[in-house]
Amino acid sequence: MSGNGNAKWGVLTIICMAIFIMVIDTTIMNVSISALVIDLDTAVPAIQAVISIYALIMASFMLIGGKLQDVMGRKKVFLVGLALYGVGTFTASISQDILTLLVGWSILEGLGAALMLPATTTFITATYEGAERAFAFGMWGGVGAAGMAFGPIIGGYLTAFYSWRWAFRLELVVVIVVLLFSYLLTEAKPTAAWRDLDIAGTLLSFGGLGSIVLGILIVRVPELWGAIPFIIGAGVLLLLVFYFRQRHRQERGEMPLTDVGLFKNRIFTAGNVVSTVLSITIAGFLFIIPIFLQSVTGIDAFSTGLTLLPMSVAVFVFSVMAARLSTLATPRTLIFLGFVVSILGSVMLRGIFSAAMAPGEIVLGSMIFGIGLGIVFSQVTNLTLSSASKEQESDASGILNTSKQMGTSLGTAIIGVVLLFSIISGLVTGIAGSTFGQGASEEQIADELMKWAEKMKRGETPPDIPEDRVSEADAIVDAAVSGAMRSSFDAISVILVLGLIAGLFITPSAGRKEKET
């Protein structure tokens, strides 16, 4: 490890600060949508589009963000990304219309994050070794996961008592602090020239990743579902062309945009699958829980964040603590244990949701869920990146962070669709078996529900329910929502099981060499 004791842990502090502001960005804005609509005189779909474009740009540019470290050096790339992020944050904080917010947040911050994020992992691999590297990656994963859940607290508090603009202003303060202490970061000598960059490969990766993420994001727009297979199919085709182009360049001795040979490494591939599963599950969890707590129990964004706080703390604490456990058990064993614990938490949560429940009832299950995720987080990043050679570090970092970003997009889309379809199915079934549905088929009931939803989108009020049937209607809605939450957590459990299976492909001896270093 390089540097004296204070300086080397200063590197981790800087990295964690950078990770935290990048991760909380989306969750802060998710709870501030109503305020943004009013202040910027716009509509909810426009704000949702801005949020989606941010995710789209981050995922699309992540590979090139990783490769630029070989051309410019990791510190220079990180600082360029930090500067872009800072300008974007300032621009977003003074936005007076939706276009300015789009430029500042979605484009400038998205590009900045795509440059910064891959560099954060290569700084760790370059600065720490052995048990200290495992601890550093545990902190990296824990801060990232906890940041997703802290976002609603910070965003809810600032929006409720001050302004959503203060979220961006506080991020700008963190950017300035990171910039002031960036002298602690070590530079790596460039190993490639600008002329070595694969421009065609860059366009292919941007088009492929962008199309897939776009297809995932518009799953939340039922009117566009017919286009999704074509958009995602086009993205997959572009990525296949990209893969064969990269392999061809390697065979000819030319520098690829990313080393696709990494996927022949079983530990690296399994680690990426596990990381994607983690991102899917935590994003899905943090998508459906706030919706339920605010829509059904009626608590506000700040109270929602407080309810999620125990889970956030559990993820963070066990990400750090479990990194030390790698001296007692193999990473594969710990990953297996983490998934088993998180599945247990998911199963505990699936059956507790109802209109009559208190928000605090989710605390125990969500903490166990968070403990399991924290244990897996503590192992998987270090294990995945340590399986790559020194020359492959920047490529491995770019691929891993792309996988995580794709997982985050997938999580909100997959679990969101399960929730939506389960609610509709529950309502149709409930109405069909009640006095409301007498003489109507399930298809007719479903059509009527869609008409009601369209009226509500346009701000119109659907027909009032007769007073003598309110209790019956409440029971139907409660059953539909409770069933939808059960289905959503069943889907989360299935995805966690897939992650557990992927973890079994990691060899038992993986990570031992790292621990002994």
**Amino acid identity, position 179:** L
pLDDT tens track for 442-457: 565 556 556 555 554 4
- Rounded distance, CA 260 to CA 6, Å? 37
> CA-CA distances (angstroms) from residue 45 to 48, 52, 99, 106, 409?
5, 10, 14, 15, 17
326/131 Cα distance (integer angstroms): 8
Lowest mean pLDDT among 18-32, 74-88, 90-104: 18-32
Mean pLDDT: which of 201-210, 212-221, 391-400, 452-461 is highest?
Answer: 201-210
pLDDT at 308: 82
474 confidence band (pLDDT: 50, 70, 90): low
- Residue 430, judged by CB atoms within 10 A of its CB (0-12, 13-18, 19+), counts as buried
DSSP string, 201-260: HHHHHHHHHHHHHHHHHGGG-GGGGGGHHHHHHHHHHHHHHHHHHHHHHHHTTPPPSS-G
16-52: pLDDT as tens digits: 888 888 888 777 776 677 778 888 888 766 776 787 7
pLDDT at 367 over 90: yes
Tell me what the mean pLDDT of segment 303-326 comes to. 79
pLDDT of 517: 43
The token duo for 97 is 């219309």
So what's the pLDDT on residue 347?
A: 94
More confident residue, 134 or 228: 228
Look at residue 515 and tell me whether its pLDDT is greater than 50. Answer: no
Other C-beta atoms closer than 10 Å to the C-beta of 483 total: 18
Residue 40 has a pLDDT of: 85
- Cβ neighbours of residue 411 closer than 8 Å, sequence gap 6 or more: 279, 280, 281, 282, 283, 284, 285, 287
| Percentage of residues in the chain having pLDDT higher than 90 | 16
Write down the pLDDT at residue 436. 52
For the whole model, what pTM was predicted? 0.80
User: How far apart are alpha carbons 188 and 72 in whole angstroms?
Assistant: 9
CA distances from 462 to 241, 444, 448 (A): 50, 16, 10
* DSSP 8-state secondary structure symbol assigned to residue 4: -
Residues 6+ apart with CB under 8 A from 92: 100, 101, 104, 105, 109, 168
**342 vs 376: CA distance, rounded Å:** 9
DSSP output for 105-124: IIIIIHHHHHHHHHHHHHHH
For the chain, the first-to-last Cα distance in angstroms comes to 11
196: left (phi over 0), alpha (psi -120 to 50) or beta: alpha
Distance CA 305, CA 290 (A): 8
DSSP, collapsed to helix, strand or coil, labels residue 299 as coil
User: How does pLDDT run across 368-423, given as a tens digit for each residue?
Assistant: 999 999 888 878 887 887 787 777 777 788 888 888 888 887 887 788 788 877 87
Q: How far is CA 127 from the centre of its chain?
A: 26
Q: How far is CA 5 from the centre of its chain?
A: 32
Q: Return the residue matching tokens 């690829």.
A: 256
Q: Where are the alpha helices (DSSP H) in 325-362?
A: 331-350
pLDDT 10s digits, 320-345: 776 677 667 787 888 899 999 999 99
Ramachandran area for residue 310 (φ above 0: left; ψ -120 to 50: alpha; else beta): alpha
- Of the pLDDT bands very low, low, confident and very high (cuts 50, 70, 90), residue 458 is very low
Most confident of 162-176, 207-221, 452-466: 162-176
Q: What is the DSSP string of 445-468?
A: HHHHHHHHHHHHHTTPPPPPPPGG
In the chain, % of residues over pLDDT 70: 83
Give per-residue pLDDT as tens, 401-412: 888 888 887 887
Pull the structure tokens for residue 62: 């992540």
- Could you tell me the two tokens for 147? 């940041």
Distance between CA atoms of residues 179 and 176, nearest Å: 5
Q: What token pair was written down for 443?
A: 């298809």
CA 141 to chain centre: 12
Q: How many CA atoms are closer than 13 Å to the CA of 411, on its beta-carbon side?
A: 27
At residue 462 the predicted structure's pLDDT band, cuts being 50, 70 and 90, is: low
The C-alpha angle with vertex 81 and arms to 77 and 87, in degrees rounded to 5, equals 150
Question: What is the predicted pLDDT for the residue at 57?
Answer: 84
How high does pLDDT run on average in the chain?
80
Q: Following CA atoms 10, 11, 13, 18 in sequence, which dihedral angle do they give, to the nearest 10 degrees?
A: 140
Sole residue written with tokens 């659907």: 462
User: Which residue, among 160, 147, 496, 104, has the nearest Cα to 338 in the 3D structure?
Assistant: 496
Separation between Cα atoms, residue 76 and residue 84, nearest integer Å: 12
